[in-house]
Structure 1
């Protein structure tokens, strides 16, 4: 009987409802959920107000449910034109930054030369300094060279801005690569080109893909560098900024919702593909 009482007394604190103990045990989970909610809530608001029909110019208060904006997402003048221009610039900037950044990454990871430390510093400067500094510097350069502001100045500026992020992603992948894999391919009489295409490039592909996706997102979303070097050219972020001063049309919420859903779909597809790959290669 005494032993039973002792056991009950020892286990009582574990089964008792102590809010502080429960909070300490679940604080990380709660913090994660709060952060997730903080990140998702603005997107939910954008999605909800994409079905709103405001009485005035400003889409800040819920008035009436309507799908008119979804039926005609290009109903606002120049909206889809600016969106198409941003997509075009982002695609070309991604291509240019990915190709140049990959070559620079291999050079910095594989070779030793005198200016290597200086090149590393110059490559990572755009990531360390504010965007406005780079934007103003490029604008001054284009003005002194007599280059007219427009599509090409935006594209050059975006490639220079995205280059650092591609180099960071690809260089980390290349430096973690086991050189014995390439040596084994050469021992099996593979040519340098075959070794690169069949061994080196597939291993570096995740880093290249990460850098490309990051470049596309940064280029499409950029406002500061674009604003300094666009002239009269209007991209989608600049269109949104200009519309916010006069009254944000509901169609902007529609496009924002579509972009968010596409991003979520890409993440889900990547997760499913990764899980299937792990199951097929245990």
Structure 2
């Protein structure tokens, strides 16, 4: 007698529980987006449809500076993290099993397992000592901190791409007298390109949205867009925060959609 495969969707009440979970997850987000078009000065009192808060956010000099700073940090950190993650992925997948392999995986993915507040405090202590010794207080501290935190996020899709690649293509290139650099440049790198792009986009999103590490590492006058919004919540709250949040949400959804399209399996 053939046995039927287990399917969670056949459990009684599954649809109800799933519906409640999706409602709890997405209803606040949809409410945020809806109230970003609110004409009222109150953050949660509807006063009619308007784009005034998007216009206010666009014209706000502090928002412009924070946005530019966030994009600078996110682009730089994601580039550094992607390069490091690519080298790490090549080093851990393009060879046989070796002693300490599990330990290396753990160390690369350590920022994912350790609470972010612990990483933030550790970076604060290290960078405080460096600041005292060098007198430098620029954005490089934030870029390095974000890059270190984003490496595992870039590493995972790149490693997954490499593990799914057919080694016979690289073997064939070697059989045709291509040296290791030529094989990497003309075979390996183009094939792992989607994974690298996906890792870079994921690292960019993580860096752009980071608050905890940024709050601990930044110096005076180095607010990013998320920390600027956090500061606004401590003062007078206006629907401008809703508009900024909706814009960030739209950018994140766009990048994650591209990430999904790049990493999905094709028949």
- TM value normalised by structure 1: 0.77
Residue matched to 1:48 = 34
Residue 234 of structure 2 aligns to a residue whose secondary structure is: helix
Residue matched to 1:137 = 122
Residue 73 of structure 1 aligns to a residue whose secondary structure is: helix
- Relative to structure 1, the CA distance from residue 117 to residue 241 in structure 2 (aligned partners, 3 Å threshold; closer, same or farther) is same
The answer on 1:217 being equivalent to 2:202 is: no
Residue matched to 2:181 = 193
- Relative to structure 1, the CA distance from residue 151 to residue 268 in structure 2 (aligned partners, 3 Å threshold; closer, same or farther) is closer
Unaligned runs of 5+ residues in structure 1 are 1-22
Residue matched to 1:4 = none
Alignment of 1:28-47 (within 5 A): 28-47=14-33
Unaligned runs of 5+ residues in structure 2 are 1-8
Aligned-pair CA distance for 1:48: 1.3
Residue matched to 2:88 = 104
Deviations 1:15-50 (A, max 9, x none): xxxxxxxx9677444444443333332221122111
Aligned-pair CA distance for 1:180: 1.6
Q: How far, CA to CA, are the matches of 1:24 and 1:193 in structure 2?
A: 52
Equivalent pair of 1:93/1:155 in contact (CA under 8 Å): yes
- TM value normalised by structure 2: 0.81
The answer on 1:121 being equivalent to 2:109 is: no
Equivalent pair of 1:86/1:235 in contact (CA under 8 Å): yes
Residue matched to 1:20 = none
Aligned-pair CA distance for 1:261: 3.1
Alignment of 1:140-151 (within 5 A): 140-145=125-130, 146=132, 147=134, 148-151=136-139
Q: Matched residue pairs, number?
A: 254
Aligned-pair CA distance for 1:255: 2.7
